[in-house]
């Protein structure tokens, strides 16, 4: 029988630690492995004197203690197939699993999916002989929490194992991540184009704090007492339906009470039947954090997972709640900005574009038409008979009539056209991408037909007719100001002669 020892046995502590780990139930073997690692780390030199017998040269005086039990960092030995073969006692404190639960399983079974690819790349560099230090990734603990680890590792070609030390940096990383998230949320409030863009950015930011593939923003319409879901990313598709504030749903409960909520499999049965139905639909965990501004709640952030998916803990809920205040402020700032921007570019009575917005749209349309054989038409409208209606029925009826005209114009014209109110009973319509100047008069005819039906306002059937002047770019003018002037003059020509007129005639 061949009694030759493998190379790793002759080299001492490292591989004996592997054997001791594989026989983790053998207390004596484990103590021996810890003793050998302790001595090696302390400078002791080993000489092989046969199986089970070691002579220690230059051995320092070391107390007979199980020092590995005192280490806060975990020492892991992994074979060439990336399976754990030995883990020091600190591993259970860090990963939440006993050594027996991890030994024999592949490393990436425990790595967070988002970090798996770069972890594999890191492992390959170690196997290629590169000593690796300060590599960071995230592992999923047995209790569902996430642990951030910093690794140092070295590969033993002769033994075909790598020895790695894992240092838990979770608190440090979470603190830095939260600080970075708060800054990013504040920045997003200023740079996002609109609320949809802001919600998408917030989702991405929160996903760096905790896994949030299924994420919703719920907002309360305080006037209508309705809860809407303007943003929802869900792996099973579809946003929750709009509900009233007093609905028996988790989102409504969080917003109504202004308190956070974690629903987990172990407490599903404590809730009413309507909420227990979530479990039947496959929901496993549900987290909700209220969006608060001072003493009022404007909505909620919601994260959830389905059966077979992620586990969430109170620490995840704490992170979500911590950033929710900043998110609420970001949403409010963006809403205010959008309202101010809308007011600056739209008529307050009708919601149509104002003169400033119209001129900006004209400049864009002109730029698009330049160098192409197309025309841009501007129609200038004045409502004949409006003053009499305003004086006869009241200014409130007159305002309602202007709103009805604006609504009907928007419904009649194509979406790419711009309808603007210039003041009083004067409107403008910008029509781009016309093949000829004559095409503008087809739009005039549609508008005139639109006014053939009376407007019903507060029980009154009111009739007004438009005088419409037409000017065409670049035939009649080459700037927004001069085109408006041409169209205005054309409109007064129509009033005088009661027929459509073009500024070029």
The CA–CA distances, whole Å, from 476 to 36, 178, 481, 491 equal 96, 59, 12, 14
Question: d(Cα 223, Cα 296) in Å, to the nearest integer?
Answer: 13
Which residues of the chain are in CATH 3.30.450.40 domains? 173-343
Specify the pLDDT at position 155: 93
Question: Model confidence over 221-244: pLDDT tens digits?
Answer: 999 999 999 999 998 877 788 999
Q: Rg for the chain (alpha carbons), in Å? A: 36
Cα-Cα-Cα-Cα dihedral of 5, 8, 13, 16, to 10°? Answer: -70
Specify the pLDDT at position 367: 93
Question: d(Cα 324, Cα 334) in Å, to the nearest integer?
Answer: 15
Question: d(Cα 349, Cα 448) in Å, to the nearest integer?
Answer: 23
Residues of the chain short of pLDDT 70, as ranges, are: 1-66, 498-505
Homologous superfamily of 355-502: Reverse transcriptase/Diguanylate cyclase domain (3.30.70.270)
Among residues 261, 271, 195, the alpha carbon closest in space to that of 228 is found at: 195
Which residues of the chain are in CATH 3.30.70.270 domains? 355-502
- 7-169 placed in CATH 3.40.50.300: no
Report the CATH architecture of 173-343: 2-Layer Sandwich (3.30)
Specify the pLDDT at position 65: 52
Specify the pLDDT at position 35: 52
**What's the whole-model pTM score?**
0.65
Question: Model confidence over 271-282: pLDDT tens digits?
Answer: 777 777 777 778
Q: What tokens does 50 get? A: 């046969």
Residue 419, preceding bond cis, omega within 30 degrees?
A: no
Bridge partners of 152, per DSSP, are 165
Which residues of the chain are in CATH 3.30.450.20 domains? 7-169
Question: d(Cα 99, Cα 88) in Å, to the nearest integer?
Answer: 8
């Amino acid at each position: 029988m061949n009694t030759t020892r493998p190379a790793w046995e002759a080299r001492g502590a490292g591989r004996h630690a592997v054997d001791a780990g594989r026989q983790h139930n053998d207390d004596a073997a484990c103590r021996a492995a810890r003793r050998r690692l302790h001595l090696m780390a302390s400078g002791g030199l080993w000489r092989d004197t046969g199986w089970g017998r070691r002579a220690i040269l230059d051995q320092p005086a070391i107390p007979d203690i199980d020092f590995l039990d005192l280490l806060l960092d975990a020492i892991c030995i992994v074979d060439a197939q990336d399976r754990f073969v030995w883990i020091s006692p600190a591993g259970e404190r860090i990963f939440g699993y006993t050594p027996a639960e991890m030994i024999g399983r592949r490393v990436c079974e425990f790595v967070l999916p988002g970090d798996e690819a770069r972890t594999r790349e890191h492992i390959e560099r170690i196997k290629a002989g590169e000593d690796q230090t300060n590599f960071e990734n995230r592992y999923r603990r047995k209790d569902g929490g996430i642990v951030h680890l910093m690794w140092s590792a070295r590969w033993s070609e002769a033994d075909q194992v790598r020895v790695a030390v894992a240092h838990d940096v979770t608190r440090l990383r979470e603190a830095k991540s939260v600080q970075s998230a708060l800054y990013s949320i504040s920045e997003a409030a200023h740079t996002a184009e609109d609320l949809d863009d802001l919600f998408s950015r917030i989702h991405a930011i929160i996903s760096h704090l905790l896994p949030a593939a299924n994420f919703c923003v719920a907002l309360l319409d305080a006037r209508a007492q309705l809860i809407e879901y303007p943003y929802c990313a869900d792996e099973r598709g579809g946003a929750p339906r709009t509900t009233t504030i007093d609905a028996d749903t988790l989102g409504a409960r969080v917003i109504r009470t202004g308190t956070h909520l974690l629903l987990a499999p172990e407490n599903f049965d404590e809730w009413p039947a309507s909420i227990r139905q979530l479990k039947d639909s496959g929901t496993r965990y549900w987290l909700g954090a209220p969006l608060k501004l001072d003493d009022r709640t404007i909505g909620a952030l919601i994260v959830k997972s389905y059966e077979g998916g992620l586990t969430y803990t109170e620490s995840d809920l704490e992170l979500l709640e911590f950033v929710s205040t900043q998110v609420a402020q970001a949403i409010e700032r963006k809403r205010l900005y959008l309202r101010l921007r809308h007011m600056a570019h739209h008529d307050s009575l009708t919601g149509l574009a104002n003169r400033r917005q119209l001129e900006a749209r004209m400049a864009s349309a002109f730029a698009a038409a330049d160098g192409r054989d197309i025309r841009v038409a501007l129609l200038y409208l004045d409502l004949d008979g409006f003053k009499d209606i305003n004086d006869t029925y009241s200014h409130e009826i007159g305002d309602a009539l202007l709103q009805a005209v604006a609504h009907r114009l928007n419904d009649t014209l194509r979406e790419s056209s711009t309808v603007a109110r210039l003041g009083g009973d004067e409107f403008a319509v910008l029509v781009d991408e016309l093949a000829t100047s004559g095409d503008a008069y087809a739009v005039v005819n549609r508008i005139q037909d639109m006014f053939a039906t009376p407007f019903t306002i507060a029980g009154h059937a009111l009739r007004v007719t438009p005088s419409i002047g037409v000017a065409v770019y670049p035939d009649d003018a080459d700037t927004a100001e001069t085109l408006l002037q041409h169209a205005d003059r054309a409109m007064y020509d129509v009033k005088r002669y009661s027929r459509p007129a073009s500024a070029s005639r």
